[in-house]
């Protein structure tokens, strides 16, 4: 028995209606989905920290999610784990003709844009023929905005140069300021969303991953804030009782100290 077969056997035992785990038996696709997203983020976090022992563990947790879905689908006659493995294997073979294709395709080698062309051919079989078809709504908002803008740009709905995006950001900031003046919470939220969407388009034009950029900014803020906290504590002061001016001085020092 392979390691993967053993894992699938464990999953079947957990879902056994008579002897299985009550919690596992209560779950369905919708209840497991949030755990899958959490596990994927934990994989990314382990990679960012270069903690490869933790990465091994987190990849196991993520694999277990796949096995869990496949087991539930098998119970309902939808598909099983082998179908999932066959599907991704066939897709990778199809999308890499320069590796797995005919002698002529392998000799030609990888052609720029071929991956997207093959994906477009696959999407052409989808009854949803929109340029935005297949951009899943479950993606993080920044990543989905990036993909939506990229898809629209492929069919010509895009600014020809970055100046147009900069102008759009200024326009959306103005509309947000007007919305703030109304004190209408829904209107403010809508306009703030437009600002964020425009900023994501700027990231796309700069060929920057906005999710990665914001993640870096988060780490940087946390690093500086913790350094500031440590210095304030070392001075036997309470951060909540300090003036904004004093905090700003400490913040500037932390930026110099930790970068």
Residue-wise pLDDT for 231-241, tens only, equals: 999 999 999 99
Q: What confidence category does residue 111 fall into, taking pLDDT thresholds of 50, 70 and 90?
A: low
Decide if 17 is inside a domain: yes
Q: Examine the domain organization and report whether 75 and 11 are in the same domain.
A: yes
Q: Examine the domain organization and report whether 162 and 230 are in the same domain.
A: no
Decide if 45 is inside a domain: yes
Q: Is the dihedral of CA 138, 139, 140, 142 positive or negative?
A: negative
- What is the average per-residue pLDDT within 16-23? 96
Q: What is the pLDDT of residues 171-217, one digit of tens each?
A: 999 999 999 999 999 999 999 999 999 999 999 999 999 988 998 99
Q: What confidence category does residue 26 fall into, taking pLDDT thresholds of 50, 70 and 90?
A: very high
Q: Among 17-31, 98-112, 202-216, where is mean pLDDT lowest? A: 98-112
Could you give the CA distance from residue 121 to residue 129 in angstroms, rounded to a whole number?
11
Q: Examine the domain organization and report whether 154 and 198 are in the same domain.
A: yes
The pLDDT value recorded for residue 140 is 84
Decide if 67 is inside a domain: yes
CA-nearest of 143, 149, 151 to 202 is 149
Count: domains in the chain: 3
Decide if 115 is inside a domain: no
The residue from 79, 108, 125 where one domain ends is 79
Decide if 135 is inside a domain: no
CATH code of the domain in which 14 resides: 1.10.287.1080
Q: What is the pLDDT of residues 119-165, one digit of tens each?
A: 666 666 667 778 888 788 878 889 899 999 999 998 899 999 999 99
What's this model's pTM, rounded to 2 decimal places? Answer: 0.62
Q: Examine the domain organization and report whether 8 and 56 are in the same domain.
A: yes
Q: Examine the domain organization and report whether 238 and 195 are in the same domain.
A: no
Decide if 120 is inside a domain: no
Q: Examine the domain organization and report whether 199 and 226 are in the same domain.
A: no
Q: Examine the domain organization and report whether 251 and 198 are in the same domain.
A: no
Q: Alpha helices, DSSP H only, in the chain?
A: 3-14, 22-26, 29-48, 52-75, 81-95, 97-100, 103-108, 114-123, 141-154, 162-182, 185-205, 210-234, 244-258
Q: Examine the domain organization and report whether 219 and 203 are in the same domain.
A: no
The pLDDT value recorded for residue 235 is 93
Q: Examine the domain organization and report whether 152 and 217 are in the same domain.
A: no
Contact between residue 31 and residue 69 where contact means Cβ atoms under 8 Å apart: no
Decide if 98 is inside a domain: no
The pLDDT value recorded for residue 241 is 93
Q: Examine the domain organization and report whether 183 and 148 are in the same domain.
A: yes
The residue from 62, 79, 96 where one domain ends is 79
Decide if 167 is inside a domain: yes
**Domain region containing 197:** 141-208
Q: Examine the domain organization and report whether 202 and 219 are in the same domain.
A: no
């Amino acid at each position: 028995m392979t390691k993967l077969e053993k894992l699938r056997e464990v999953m079947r035992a957990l879902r056994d209606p008579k002897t299985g785990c009550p919690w596992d038996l209560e779950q369905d696709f919708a209840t497991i989905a949030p755990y899958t997203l959490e596990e994927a983020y934990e994989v990314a976090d382990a990679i960012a920290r270069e903690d490869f022992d933790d990465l091994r563990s987190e990849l196991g947790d993520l694999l277990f999610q796949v096995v869990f879905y496949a087991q539930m689908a098998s119970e309902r006659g939808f598909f099983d784990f082998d179908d999932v493995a066959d599907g991704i294997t066939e897709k990778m073979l199809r999308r890499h003709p320069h590796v797995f294709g005919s002698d002529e395709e392998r000799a030609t080698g990888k052609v720029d844009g071929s991956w997207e062309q093959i994906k477009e051919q696959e999407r052409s079989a989808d009854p949803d023929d929109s340029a935005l078809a297949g951009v899943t709504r479950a993606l993080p908002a920044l990543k989905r905005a990036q993909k939506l803008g990229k898809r629209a740009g492929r069919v010509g709905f895009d600014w020809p140069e970055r100046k147009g995006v900069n102008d759009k950001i200024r326009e959306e900031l103005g509309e947000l300021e007007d919305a703030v003046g109304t004190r209408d919470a829904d209107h403010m939220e809508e306009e703030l969303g437009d600002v964020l969407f425009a900023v994501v388009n700027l990231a796309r034009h700069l060929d920057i991953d906005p999710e990665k950029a914001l993640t870096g900014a988060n780490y940087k803020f946390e690093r500086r804030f913790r350094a500031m906290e440590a210095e304030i504590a070392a001075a036997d002061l309470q951060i909540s009782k300090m003036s904004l001016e004093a905090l700003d001085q400490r913040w500037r020092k932390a930026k110099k100290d930790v970068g």
